[in-house]
Amino acid sequence: MGLAPVVQPSEISNEAGALEFKFNPWHDTENGQFTFKGQGQRFAGGGGSFGGGGASGGWSKPKAPKPKNDGGNFRGGEPGGDQASRSWDGAKPTTPPTKPLAKPLAKPIEVRTKIVRTTVPKVLETPVERPLPTTRKISAGGYDFEVDEQDRTVRASGQLRLQPDQPRSRDAQTNAGKPNREQNDHGGHFIAREFGGPEISYNHFAQNARFNLSEYRVIENKWKKALKAGKRVTVDIQADYTGNSRRPDWIFVFSNIGGIDEIRRMPNKK
């Protein structure tokens, strides 16, 4: 296979001739020379030294070597063995030493959690009625209207009644809220004509078309249904303006339907 032939120890030679590497434990007791197995006396091997300076010196008893303090246990050759055997137990630890734990802090770290309580203003579900400016009262069609110094209706109130098929005042509807009327505004009624609301200008305001046909219409239909059911319905409608504008920004509706109060705050926009 391409490997060099194995050379037996007896075949190794030097300039002086062949060297005997085999160990023969048998000695002739008379002349001290090696002999064959079973003849002479057997001497134990295992690391002993041949003493006396020659063949007649015989074998000296081997001394046990001193164990080295290398962290392991030393075991020398045992008498009667063919060779001395040495093994080191524990010379090199198989398990790496455990890394020492970090030195504990002299004083534990104190962790504090601060709870911040934020005060959130409570949202009023119902509007607070603000004091009205100096007004004058105008009564028409069984309802009362309060008008401020700028001749703007700030309040319309009364007990509703069903009075269908009433004509409308086109002029009052067209001029409601001018000059602050917006392009998508209708000339809306504080109290609808079907409830007997008068045709006077004070019963009109510039009302967003979407608001007029949706939110405001929903509450008017509720009043109509209650009246048809024979319930008593009273209303108090208030308008809130910004600055000198003649177009209200908010409409507050306080109503009592069959003894149950309801309050609504509605913006005058889509």
Residues 160 and 40 in one domain: no
pTM of the model: 0.51
Report d(CA 222, CA 196) in Å as an integer. Answer: 16
Residue 170 belongs to some domain of the structure: yes
Predicted confidence at residue 122, as pLDDT, reads 53
Please calculate the CA angle 58-61-67 and round it to the nearest 5 degrees.
Answer: 145
Phi-psi region of 255 (alpha: psi -120 to 50; beta: other; left: phi over 0): beta
pLDDT single digits (tens) 226-267: 999 999 999 999 999 999 999 999 999 999 999 999 999 999
No. of helices (H) and no. of strands (E), the chain: 3, 14
Does 81 lie in the same domain as 21? yes
Q: Is 3 within a domain?
A: no
Domain final residue pick, 48, 70, 87 = 87
pLDDT at 265 (0 to 100): 95
Same domain, residue pair 83 and 140: no
CATH number of the domain at 200, please: 3.40.570.10
pLDDT of residue 44: 52
The helix (H) or strand (E) run that includes residue 185 is strand 185-189
Query: Which of 26, 55, 87 is the endpoint of a domain?
Result: 87
- The pLDDT assigned to 256 comes to 97
Q: What is the pLDDT of residue 182?
A: 94
Tell whether 72 and 172 lie within a shared domain. Answer: no
Give the pLDDT of residue 231.
97
Q: Would you state the pLDDT for residue 54? A: 43
Residue 26's pLDDT is: 60
Instruction: Calculate the dihedral angle through the C-alpha atoms of 121, 123, 126, 130, rounding to the nearest 10 degrees.
Output: 40
Structural domain includes residue 178: yes
Same domain, 141 and 60: no
Task: Indicate whether 68 belongs to any domain.
Answer: yes
Asked whether residue 124 is assigned to any structural domain, the reply reads: no
pLDDT, tens digit (0-9, with 9 covering 90-100), for 115-140: 545 454 555 556 566 665 689 999 99
The total number of structural domains that make up the chain: 2
Q: Are 160 and 191 in contact (CB under 8 A)?
A: yes
DSSP state letter for 217: H
Question: Do 263 and 142 sit in the same domain of this protein?
Answer: yes
Do 79 and 143 lie in a common domain?
Answer: no
Assess contact for 162 and 228: CB atoms under 8 A: yes
Domain annotation covers residue 75: yes
Enumerate residue ranges in the chain where pLDDT < 50. Answer: 7, 9-14, 18-21, 45-60, 70-91, 111, 113-114, 116, 118, 120
Whether residues 140 and 220 fall in one domain: yes
The pLDDT value recorded for residue 166 is 84
Q: What's the pLDDT score for residue 92?
A: 53
Centroid of chain to Cα 14: 85
- pLDDT at residue 140 in the model: 95
Q: Which residues contact residue 247 at a Cβ distance below 8 angstroms, ignoring those fewer than 6 apart?
A: 177, 180, 181, 182, 185, 205, 206, 241, 268
Tell me whether residue 206 is exposed, middle or buried, using C-beta atoms within 10 angstroms of its C-beta: 0 to 12, 13 to 18, 19 or more. Answer: buried
Question: What pLDDT does 97 receive?
Answer: 59
Assigned domain for 156 exists: yes
Q: Structural domain of residue 55, as residue ranges?
A: 9-87
Residue 126 covered by a domain:
no
